[in-house]
Amino acid sequence: MRREIRPASFFVGICGNIGVGKSAFTKLLVERLGWEAYYEPVAENPFLEAFYADMKRWAFHLQIYLLAERFKAQKRFVERGAPFIQDRTIYEDGEIFARVLFERGAMEPREFESFLSLFREMVELLPFPGLLLYLRARPPVLLERIARRGRACEAGIGEAYLAQLERAYEAWIESARGRCPILEIDTEGIAFPPDGELITRIVSEIRAAREAAGSPAGARGETA
């Protein structure tokens, strides 16, 4: 029997590859809706720089840290009862990043199995997002964006790694269909920050999904 923390509110998970624009979309949607946001920890992450310098040495440590931080944050937001936006979901830790790192030899089989065991126990306790906003862009475009944002630790990210992550994302999104509405946005042809018309369309989709889930659009937490 699943031991979910039953959601008192609706939340949106923004998912997608490195550099695709999750934080930019999260910021604009939060401003429009008046909801809370969980941003992926970057500046405060104690393993990120070490990971990119030596993936094999630090992959397991990084993934455990991110899994724990996302679990704590999602649990806290759900229990608080207000709608929120999540910049990258906990599912991506297990279904995308840990899996790809294992396939690339950066995680040993015993590390990967230990991580998956913990991951599966954690997600049993959490509700699935009410809507997934899946942002897409081809790896060459992502590399350009990663270079423009200028994080020194990301300088070594290669196109092959991004392409492998992209394939894992496509497989996971297919498996998630039927669990919640999925809104896919091709971000290649848009400017950043995204324009107001696109954000208005996404907000409309979020409201429709929230109403369908039984939480009225005007319920607590929404200001627009």
Q: Kindly list the catalytic residues.
A: 87
Strands (E), the chain: 11-16, 36-38, 84-87, 131-136, 182-186
Cα–Cα distances in Å, from 217 out to 139, 179, 182, 211?
Answer: 36, 20, 18, 6
Tokens of 155: 């300088």
Tokens of 190: 């848009």
Tokens of 195: 């324009």
Per DSSP, the residues of 131-184 read EEEEEE--HHHHHHHHHHHT-GGGTT--HHHHHHHHHHHHHHHHHHBTTB-EEE
Please report, to the nearest 10 degrees, the dihedral formed by the alpha carbons of residues 131, 93, 103, 16 taken in order: 40
